[in-house]
Structure 1
Amino acid sequence: MAEDKESAKAIVSELHKRISSAFDVFDHESNHTVDVREIGTIIRSLGCFPTEAQLHDVIAEIEEEEPTGFIRFERFLPTMSRILLEHRFRPVPEDLLLQAFEVLDQQKRGHLDPEELTRYLTQEGEPFTQEEMEEMLSAAVDPDKNLIFYKDFVSVMTVDDPW
């Protein structure tokens, strides 16, 4: 029983260190606050990938009563700890991403053209912004053939789940 309690304390302590380190990268004034616009980057750096709507919900939970444009660490820590301990916003597994691309590739060619993918990602679901599309295409498009070989791209864009 005491061993379990010590083990849990060690896990929480390690979790708090990871969260603190990620937060500190963006605490430019060293005053335990970060710009609210950095919260998504911090959360993603911790291996969580919320949608924009989910991110807005998290920000609403940790913001002050009267939003200041900054998030204090003492409000961020408990929420982020809970998110990590509950394994929320986990990355999508590689096989599921591959299936999504295969659905888009109706002719089963093994590739998509950039215009095709742009159309899907800017007009369906939670649309990508122009900047997000440009960033993604710069990593996804084969420069010689001007195509997206999605099997290669999926293996590049997946991350190992640290938990």
Structure 2
Amino acid sequence: MAEGKQSAEIMASDVHKKIRAAFEAFDYESNNTVDVREIGTIIYSLGCFPSQQDLHDLIAKVEEDHTGYVHLDSFLPAMTKVLLEHKFPPIPEDVLLQAFEVLDKEKKGYLEPEELTKYMTQEGEPFTQEEMDEMLTALADNENHVCYKDLISQLTVDPDM
């Protein structure tokens, strides 16, 4: 029984290190706080992909008195629980591929930026135009195509990491 407890403590310690490292990357003033607007990016970088509602709920738990900042002391236990309970898992690669293939009605193997923008800003949890511009800058190839088969490995996270 003690061995299982020790293993759980080591796992929690590793999780704490990952969370601290992700948090500190956005702690520009090195004061153990980050702007609340960075929390989603931190969570995504840790391999968690909550819905916008789940993200807002988590932020409401950890934001200090609606100041616009989140302190590591509030974020660490909440995010540790999320990671240890495997909440907000990434979408599996095959499901992501199927979604792209549904959008690619002509079976070209890529989407035009205009097509992707239409889908991403008008459906589901819509992206802002600024988010789309950033994404397209990063994803479009030299021919201004978004080749989704090449991108799927970038959009998914290895669950064993």
So what's the TM-score if we normalise by structure 1? 0.88
Structure 1 unaligned spans of 5+: none
Structure 2 unaligned spans of 5+: none
Letter in 2 for 1:155: S
Measured after TM superposition, the shift of residue 141 of structure 1 is 2.3
Letter in 2 for 1:128: F
Measured after TM superposition, the shift of residue 115 of structure 1 is 1.4
Deviation track 1:101-155 (CA, whole Å, cap 9, x = no partner) reads 11112222322222112111111111111111112222332323x3332212223
Greater shift, 124-133 or 103-112, is seen at 103-112
Deviation track 1:21-43 (CA, whole Å, cap 9, x = no partner) reads 22222233333222212211221
Query: Which has the greater radius of gyration?
Result: 1
- From 138, 151, 154, give the equivalent of 1:153: 151
2: CA distance, partners of 1:153 / 1:6: 39
Question: Would the alpha carbon gap of residues 21 and 149 (structure 1) be closer, same or farther in structure 2, given more than 3 Å must change?
Answer: closer
**SS of residue matched to 2:34:** strand
So what's the TM-score if we normalise by structure 2? 0.89
Deviation track 1:41-82 (CA, whole Å, cap 9, x = no partner) reads 221222212232221111001123x31111122111110011
Partner of 1:18: 18
Percent sequence identity is 61
Question: Would the alpha carbon gap of residues 147 and 18 (structure 1) be closer, same or farther in structure 2, given more than 3 Å must change?
Answer: closer
Letter in 2 for 1:33: T
1: CA distance, partners of 2:87 / 2:136: 28
